[in-house]
Amino acid sequence: MRSRQPRRPPPRAPCHRPPAPLNQLAHNPFNPRDGLTELEETAAFLTERGQIQPLAVVRRAAFLSAHPDQADTLGAAQYVVIDGTRRLAATGIAGLTELRIDVNDSLAASAADMLEGALVANIHRVDVPPLDQAKAIQELVDVHGSQAQVAKRLGKTPAWVSQRLALLELTPELQDKVETGELKVEPARRIGRLPKEQQAAAAAETVNAVNTSPGTTRSTTPRSTQLACPGTIPTPCTRSSYAA
């Protein structure tokens, strides 16, 4: 006869709690998303369909055991939200008074874990400002010692990490242009790899190229003159003119 194998214990269920009043929930002070957008859309979704997923939180005591200097930041809240900051911010607009939560105190083990948990939760969301993301990644590099280690912990390539950190190498003026959208993120990352004294000229060239590219509404007379066909009244050349 075959020996009977011991039965495996059932998997542990998530630690679901009764809905928590909003005054018991604090925003994660280490969350890299300083600017929250699309709150109205999130509030409308909560009003229409309710809360689909519970918020991932840690208990106050677990959080303060790792970060005793954050007591004033938490106020009287009993939980700190790790994943669900936007939903928490939108509840006031939606008129909700409580939210469902899942408690996972292991997320509060260290400052790096707190930052990492917040960053990983937000990394694929469109409302994370690129510079905020870069600053959070740099903090992880400071804790873990290298970009390679951070890339491994985030499940990304070292190149992905390096590209995002390049924004922090921009001059303060160009970082402001990234935040306002005047300088797009992708070219800004390339410019960040240049020496500081070359960045302003490279950024000006990039912005000018965007403003004068075909299909944009902004154009200048010198640009039209430059594109004029030889021997004709200055008018923009067509693609066929150059191909002839």
Give residue-wise pLDDT tens across range 53-107.
Answer: 999 999 999 999 888 888 998 999 999 998 888 899 999 899 999 999 999 988 8
Closest residue by Cα to residue 118 from 26, 24, 28? 28
Show the low-confidence residues of the chain (pLDDT under 50).
3, 5-6, 8-14, 217-244
CA–CA separation, 222 and 168 (whole Å): 35
Q: Which residues contact 162 (CB under 8 A, 6 or more apart)?
A: 147
- Determine if the pTM surpasses 0.75: no
Q: Chain-centre distance of CA 111, in angstroms?
A: 18
What pLDDT, on the 0 to 100 scale, is given for residue 116? 74
Closest CA to 136 of 29, 27, 26, 25: 29
pLDDT value, residue 55: 93
Give the pLDDT of residue 21. Answer: 95
Beta carbons of 206 and 185 less than 8 angstroms apart: no
Question: Tell me, what's the pLDDT at 9?
Answer: 44
